Structure 1
């Protein structure tokens, strides 16, 4: 019989890098706020710059959506250790630089260190890579990450659900990533159930 007092908490690390598409990370935090998932946020300095260009909110507003916020410089944070139990990590969006650091194992910040820990502990790491077009080096890096156990999930829009707004597209992409952790926020129109 399993002692439930020591069961792993439903805890997810949300990383936000400086790639375009910061709305994906923000929306994920908003969706998870309505669940019992404990969120741990780490944002790169570039992400804070991107936030200023792409959304009409401040970093403190994003921080307020998370249960715990970790400084990207604090490589001694709880999420940098494999002994800290989590369901895994999502980087939304994930820049090519962050992706490349994770693939090489040479990490320079808490964002990429936490991802490296998730891989070594064989937990689920999902990277919403935001780049196009992709050159051969990018594709090789993605292959290496997939071979290491990461899931590369670029936020590509689905059209079978007949989105009517950018929000619909963002919600569907984020909802599909959360599906990978068996988290259903009710935001995904499901083929054969809700559509077509």
Structure 2
């Protein structure tokens, strides 16, 4: 079940399934860069305005799953475009993001019909002089059995579009949610186990 938090702007209700902090791991593999397993934290949050804020941090993991060093960081804003108040609802998504390597991207995509899944593709890419070669990309995000799954594809001038990164993340419960869950228990707490 997808919960719609209070204060969420009506234009981004279709993105409610993304909200929260997600943590997990994945695989990174692209020509010219290190092939590795990575850990990741993604945060989707809102402040009542007509967008969802996005922040992602990932780090290279060793064979035991311990953090070795940062891999990449990204932040941005997700919006629902089109006619969010129409009968069919808005399904078009736009994302503006910036990465720690000096890459800025504009993404456009669509929310799948009837399921919590979003497919995006770059529309514009700008890079600072020292940024690695990059031409564009695609991403797919989806909620599968309560987990946030995603896969990213990218291309560079010498490399055609190909998968390069994917992750499987679990939602992290906030302390406020844990307290609410405890408050919902019977007064003696023992009845829960009967």
Could you say which structure has the higher helix fraction?
1
Could you say which structure has the higher strand fraction?
2
Rg bigger for which structure?
Answer: 2
Could you say whether these structures have the same fold, taking a TM-score greater than 0.5 normalized by the shorter chain as the test? no
Question: TM-score if structure 1 supplies the norm length?
Answer: 0.29
Question: TM-score if structure 2 supplies the norm length?
Answer: 0.29
Bigger relative CO (Cα 8 Å, ≥ 6 apart): 1
